[in-house]
Structure 1
């Protein structure tokens, strides 16, 4: 059985929200690294080899959509699971994310942290 900790890259520019997510994910047994902008997210994705990326859309420097696009077009990161966690609830935003190859798209106002953890587990093939 695979006992290593799964690594999550949390990309969120709201530091209060990021710390809430980090605490909960660590409590659930995940190894969490954090980026608060798109540039850092891209370099960490390559250097840290996370199992999954929780990606905010609206961030300084590079948007989550652009980060996703670059991840999918970079050989080292193309297969990393990506869940977008965003305030954008418009269908066109979700469609754009899906066209870029997102694994899941969650709207912050429509989910609680437990739902997010559940989706993370699901995409990593870890049932409860």
Structure 2
């Protein structure tokens, strides 16, 4: 009887570690949360996220597509229309990502105060 491989993010070469790092990068959570309400075009993503360069957003979207979290739909029209949306696997991340978002928003004032206290030392 074959068993599923065991992954452990605390093991340096474990693929789950790379995945966890990618999910925690600067832009991935913002892209995922922005796509939570449904498909968007590239320009819509940039507008909602703000401050992300086209190059970085393109790279982030390609990585998420490669990992099976985002689907890229091309519609043949003039000009070509490209929409991005979360896959089922990507949607399965929304609950934990939203929990982190809620925590960050709820505790931002405490974190900012802690930074100020630390920096005054």
Q: TM-score, normalised by structure 1?
A: 0.25
Higher helix share: 2
Rg comparison, structure with higher value: 2
Higher strand share: 1
Q: TM-score, normalised by structure 2?
A: 0.26
